[in-house]
Amino acid sequence: MPKIKIPTPLRQYTAGNSEVEVGGATAGETLGNLASEYPDLRQHLYTGDGKLRSFVNVYKGDEDIRYLDGADTEVSEGDELSIIPSIAGGAAKRRCR
């Protein structure tokens, strides 16, 4: 089964796991199965109409699936998918203009 690396901000929805193994033949299917296994994660990965959110990037190995076959990118045993969300942190507190 492919492995999915879970970034820190989303680990609270995967029972603290930083890496999860889920079945799936494509990147899209694997992510869908991940969201089924951890339902709280769904809204953080998908929009209301089921599309992957644009601020969540998914990589197979070191390549963005956008530049492979997107959700149809094939994955197999031992492949590593990584979810890379945008994070903003750097300084102290929230600042507005």
Partner 1 sequence: MQTRKSLIQSPNGAVELSNEEIARYSRHLIMPEVALDGQKKLKQAKVLTIGAGGLGSPLALYLAAAGVGTVGIVDFDVVDESNLQRQIIHGTSDLGRPKLESARDRIKDINPNVKVETFGEPLSSENALEIFEDFDVIVDGTDNFPTRYLVNDASVLTGKPNVYGSIFRFEGQASVFYAEEGPCYRCLYPEPPPPGLVPSCAEGGVLGILPGAIGTIQATEAVKLILGIGEPLIGRLLLYDALSMSFRKMKLRKDPNCPVCGENPSVTELIDYQEFCGIPQQGAQAQADQVPEITVGELKGRIGNGDKISVLDVREPHEYEVANIGARLIPLSELPERLVEIDKDETLAVHCKTGGRSARAVQFLQEAGFQNVYNVKGGIDAWSEEIDPSVPKY
Q: Judged by CB under 8 A, does residue 49 bind partner 1? A: no
**Secondary structure (DSSP) of the chain:** --EEEPPGGGGGGTTT-SEEE---SBHHHHHHHHHHHSGGGHHHHB-TTSPBPTTEEEEETTEEGGGTTGGG-B--TT-EEEEEE-----SSS----
Question: Out of 9, 15, 23, 72, which residue is the one contacting partner 1 (CB under 8 A)?
Answer: 9
Site string for partner 1, 53-92 (x = CB under 8 A): xxx-x-x--xxx--x--------------x-xxxxxxxxx
Contact residues for partner 1 (CB under 8 A)? 7-9, 12, 18, 44, 53-55, 57, 59, 62-64, 67, 82, 84-97
